[in-house]
Amino acid sequence: PVSEQSPHQTYFSAEPLDRLSVKRPDSDWIRTRQQDPGTVYLLFHKLSPMIREGDSGGTGPADSRLCRFTYGELKELLERPGSQLVFLGVERSLPPCPTADPQKPPDPAPRAWFALGSDLDQSELLQLSKEPNKCCFPKNPHRDLLRLGEEEAGLVSHSRSVLAWHSRYSFCSTCGGRSRVEEAGHKRSCENTACISHQGVHNTCYPRVDPVVIMLVLHPDQSQCLLGRKKVFPSGMFSCLAGFIEPGECVEAAVRREVQEESGVLVDRVWYVCSQPWPMPSSLMIGCLAVAVTTEISVDQDEIEEAKWFTRQQVIDSLIGGSGAAFMVPPRQTIAHQLLRHWTGLSSNL
Amino acid sequence: PVSEQSPHQTYFSAEPLDRLSVKRPDSDWIRTRQQDPGTVYLLFHKLSPMIREGDSGGTGPADSRLCRFTYGELKELLERPGSQLVFLGVERSLPPCPTADPQKPPDPAPRAWFALGSDLDQSELLQLSKEPNKCCFPKNPHRDLLRLGEEEAGLVSHSRSVLAWHSRYSFCSTCGGRSRVEEAGHKRSCENTACISHQGVHNTCYPRVDPVVIMLVLHPDQSQCLLGRKKVFPSGMFSCLAGFIEPGECVEAAVRREVQEESGVLVDRVWYVCSQPWPMPSSLMIGCLAVAVTTEISVDQDEIEEAKWFTRQQVIDSLIGGSGAAFMVPPRQTIAHQLLRHWTGLSSNL
Ligand SMILES: Nc1ncnc2c1ncn2[C@@H]1O[C@H](COP(=O)(O)O)[C@@H](O)[C@H]1O
Ligand SMILES: Nc1ncnc2c1ncn2[C@@H]1O[C@H](COP(=O)(O)O)[C@@H](O)[C@H]1O
Ligand SMILES: [Mg+2]
Ligand SMILES: [Mg+2]
Ligand SMILES: [Mg+2]
Ligand SMILES: [Mg+2]
Ligand SMILES: [Mg+2]
Ligand SMILES: [Mg+2]
Ligand SMILES: [Zn+2]
Ligand SMILES: [Zn+2]
C-alpha cells in the first residue's frame, strides 16, 4: 500500500498551526503568549466565528475571512465571565536557512493563536472590530462555515469543536459537580476534590470527538452507487449514507451496520478513503468505499426519505453540474462529495 | 482500491449479533425479549465479565469462556439498584433454506442477548453461577480480556464500553442533574426537564467512543520501523506509537502530530490499514502505516521511555518469537501486533 498516492486533503482538516500541546499545562508560558502584541485572537459568539464577508457576494472560493484581534483589543473581554479561551497553537517555524547570517539574533518566539468564545450580545462584540458594519457572526454553520479558505477552515474546526465541548460539558458527568477549565482550554477537571474522576486518567476530562462512518456503497457490479436523502436536504440532493460508530465496533463493522439499518443493503468489503473533522459539533468523518452484496433497498423511514442506485455517468453529470443532472451532489467541502469524485476518478477541485 | 484484499479482522471487533438498534426504543419488545427463557445474559461485576477459566491453564487460544445466564437466574438481580442492563442484539438469522418444509412453523424470534452490570459483592454474584468455584471476575482487563474467543471478545467490547460509559456519565454534563437510562442501555437523558439538552440531538446523551490513531512509522527508506516503550510496558516490549485524535483533526493530521510529539520524527504519507475497538474503556484504534521524512529521535519523556528504529528482520525475529529477538512484540490480540505483521508480510495467526 505504501506506493499509492496520498488521498486529497479535506475541508476543515488543514492544520496551519503547530498545536504545541506540550505547552498547554504551562500557564505562565500561556499567559505570556496571550499578552504578546503579536498574538492573534479569533472571536466567537457562542459557536460562531466573527467573519468579514468578501465583496464577491458569496460566490468566490473563499469569500469570508476570519476577523483577527490583538490582546489589546480583547483585554477587557478576556476578563468577563462567560469568556472561554482556547490555545490553538503557534505558527510553524520555517526550517533554519543555511545561508542565514550567524550574527543575526535568533528568531523571536513564533506567533501564537487563540480562540476566544463569548456569550455577550453580538452587537457588543461587533463593536470590538474596526469595521463593525462589514463583519458578522454567521447564523447557519452548515452553510456559512463552508465559505472560508482552507487554513481558516482548519482553525475553525479546532476552535468550534472545543468551544462546543465547553458549552455542553461544564459539569462533571461522574458526580454532577462543576468543572474547571485547565490546559489552556483543552481539559476540564471536577472542582469536587472527593470526585473519583481525580483517580487515574479519564475521558470525562477531555474534549469529545465522535467518530462517524460515511460510505459510498457500490453495486455488486460496481457500475452504480447507493445514495440517500434525508428530509432536511435541499430538494434534489442525494448523499452518502453515514452514521455514528458505536461502542465496540471497528470501522468496517459500523459501515456494514449503518448501511443495513438505513437502506437494507448488505455490504461485504470496505475500504478507507480519507477522513474529515466536522465541527458540528465535533465529529470525525471516516470516509469509505464499500461493496454491496445485495441490491434491494428498504429504507429506514425515520432517518432516510429515499435511497436509490445511481449510475457512474449520473454521478459524473451531477459532479460536472449540468442542468440535466439526475440529482444534486453535496457541496465540494463535504467528504461525501470527495468520495463521489474519488469513485468516478474526477480529480478534486477542492 | 476496490480490488485489494480486505484487511484482517482484529480482536474485539467481531459482531456475532445483529445489534437491532431500531428495537432499542421499543420498551415493550425489550421487556418481552428480556423475559424469554431462551435469552442469554452476560454478567459483569462493574466492568469485569464473569468467566469460566479453561482447563489448559491459560495458554490455549481461547482459554476463558463467558458465563451465560437465563432470565430466571437473574430475575432478582435485575430488580436491584445498581444493576445496569444493556441490550446487545439478537443472533443473526440464517438465510431461509430453499428446501425447507413449507408446513413447518416459521422460525421463533431470534435469541436475544443482554449484558447485566452489577456493583454488588463479587462473592454474591458468583453464587448465581452453577459452578461458583470455576468462575471468576478477572482483575486485569489488559491481560485477562485477551483470552476469550473472537466472538466472545466482540460481545465484551460492546458490553464493557457501554457499561463504562454508564459508570462515568450518570450525571448530565450540561446542567449537572441526574440522567436516566433509555433505549435499552444505549442512551441517557437528563431528568431535569428544563435542561437545554432536551432541545435538539446532542452527543451528551450517547455513549462516548474515543478515536485513537496507532501507527507503524517506517523509515524514509522503508527498511526500518519506529517503535517506542512506555514505562508501564513489560521489560523488553516495544510497540507502535499512538494517541487520541483531537477535535478538528483528520486521521492523517493526528498521526503526524502524535508521532512528532512522542518521537520528534516528522511524517509525510499516511495509510489506513485496519481498526479495532478497545474497550478500556471505549477507544476506537485506527491503525495506520506512515512514512517518516526525518530519522532523528527525541522522545517526549512524559509518555515514552525510549523509542528506536528496528530493522524488518528484527521485527520478523520478534514476531516469530525466537530467544535471540531484539525486543518483545505486543500480544497478537493488539492492533499494534497486526500492524507489525502487516508490514513484514507475515500472515496473521489471529
Ligand atoms: N454521538 C452522537 N451524537 C448525536 N447523535 C447520536 C450520537 N450517537 C448516536 N446518535 C443517534 O444517532 C442518530 C443519527 O443516526 P446515525 O448518524 O445514522 O447514526 C441521532 O439522531 C441520534 O439518535
Ligand atoms: N479521551 C481521552 N481519554 C484519556 N486521555 C486523554 C483523552 N484525550 C486526551 N487524553 C490525554 O492524552 C494522554 C495520553 O496521550 P496520547 O494517547 O498520546 O494522546 C492522557 O494521559 C491524557 O492526558
Ligand atoms: Mg445516518
Ligand atoms: Mg447510528
Ligand atoms: Mg443511521
Ligand atoms: Mg501516546
Ligand atoms: Mg495526545
Ligand atoms: Mg501522545
Ligand atoms: Zn466530579
Ligand atoms: Zn441536564
Residue B210: closest C-alpha in chain A: A209
Give the residue-averaged pLDDT of B109-126. Answer: 96
**Whole-number pLDDT of residue A100:** 63
Interhelix angle B27-35/B71-79, nearest 10 degrees:
130
Residue B164: closest C-alpha in chain A: A247
Q: Which residues neighbour A28 within 8 Å (Cβ) at sequence distance 6 or greater?
A: none
Q: Which of A164, A200, A184 is nearest to A22 (CA)?
A: A184
Q: State the Cα–Cα distance between residues B115 and B137, nearest whole angstrom.
A: 14
Q: Ligand 7 being an ion, which residues bring their Cβ within 5 A of it?
A: B 243-244
* Tens digits of residue pLDDT in B279-324: 999 999 999 999 999 999 999 888 899 999 999 999 999 999 878 8
Give the residue-averaged pLDDT of B224-228. Answer: 98
A258 lines ligand 1 (CB under 6 A): yes
Q: Which of A13, A22, A158 sits opposite B261 (nearest CB)?
A: A22
Residue type, A212: V
Q: How far is CA A289 from the centre of its chain?
A: 21
Q: Is 90 exceeded by the pLDDT of residue B102? A: no
d(CA B176, ligand 9 centre) in Å: 10
Q: Is B130 exposed, middle or buried (0-12, 13-18, 19+ CB in 10 A)?
A: exposed
Extended strands (E) in B11-63: 17-18, 40-45, 48-49, 51-53
d(CA B167, ligand 9 centre) in Å: 12
Give the residue-averaged pLDDT of B41-64. Answer: 84
**Whole-number pLDDT of residue A8:** 60
**Whole-number pLDDT of residue A348:** 60
Ligand nearest to the CA of A215: 3
Q: Does B39 touch chain A (CB under 8 A)?
A: no
- How many other CB atoms are found less than 10 A from the CB of residue A72? 9
Please provide the average confidence, as pLDDT, over all residues in chain A: 93
* Tens digits of residue pLDDT in A79-106: 999 999 999 999 998 766 666 666 766 6
* In chain A, % of residues over pLDDT 90: 85
A205 touches A212 (CB < 8 A): no
Q: Which residues neighbour A42 within 8 Å (Cβ) at sequence distance 6 or greater?
A: A49, A50, A66, A67, A68, A69, A88, A113, A114, A115, A116, A155, A156, A159
d(CA B248, ligand 6 centre) in Å: 18
Q: Where are the alpha helices (DSSP H) in B85-238?
A: 122-126, 141-144, 150-168
* Tens digits of residue pLDDT in A297-327: 999 888 899 999 999 999 999 999 878 899 9
* Tens digits of residue pLDDT in A123-141: 999 999 999 999 999 999 9
Q: State the Cα–Cα distance between residues A144 and A121, nearest whole angstrom.
A: 20
Lowest-confidence segment of A25-29, A311-315, B342-346 by average pLDDT: B342-346
Q: Ligand 3 being an ion, which residues bring their Cβ within 5 A of it?
A: A 242-243
Q: Is the ipTM of this complex over 0.85?
A: yes
* Tens digits of residue pLDDT in A156-193: 999 999 999 999 999 999 999 999 999 999 999 999 99
- How many other CB atoms are found less than 10 A from the CB of residue B90? 18
| Cβ-count burial A270-306 (b if 16+ within 10 Å, e if not) | bbbbbbbbbbebbbbbbbbbbbbeeeebebbeeebee
Q: Which of A6, A208, A248 sits opposite B279 (nearest CB)?
A: A248
Is B171 close to A176, i.e. CB distance below 8 A? Answer: yes
**Whole-number pLDDT of residue A107:** 65
Q: Which residue has the higher pLDDT, A62 or A69?
A: A69
* Tens digits of residue pLDDT in A263-280: 999 999 999 999 999 999
Q: Is 50 exceeded by the pLDDT of residue A290? A: yes
* In chain A, % of residues over pLDDT 70: 91
CA distance B172 to chain A (A): 6
**Whole-number pLDDT of residue A131:** 93
Under the banding of pLDDT at 50, 70 and 90, the label for residue B220 is very high
* Tens digits of residue pLDDT in B1-46: 333 444 468 999 999 999 999 999 999 999 999 999 999 999 999 9
Q: Which residue has the cell 468579514?
A: A52
Q: Which residues neighbour B256 within 8 Å (Cβ) at sequence distance 6 or greater?
A: A15, B266, B267, B270, B290
* Tens digits of residue pLDDT in A242-252: 999 999 999 99
- How many other CB atoms are found less than 10 A from the CB of residue A87? 24
Q: Which of B7, B3, B15 is nearest to B287 (CA)?
A: B7
The number of helices, as runs of H, and strands, as runs of E, in chain B is: 8, 17
**Whole-number pLDDT of residue B53:** 85
Q: For testing the chain B interface, which of A6, A46, A166, A203 should be mutated: the one with the most B CBs within 10 Å?
A: A203
Residue B162: closest C-alpha in chain A: A247
Q: List Cα–Cα distances, B258 to A19, A38, A42, B243, B264, in angstroms.
A: 11, 27, 25, 6, 9
Name the DSSP letter for residue B46.
T
Q: Is 90 exceeded by the pLDDT of residue A9? A: no
Interhelix angle B335-344/B312-320, nearest 10 degrees:
120
A158 touches B248 (CB < 8 A): yes
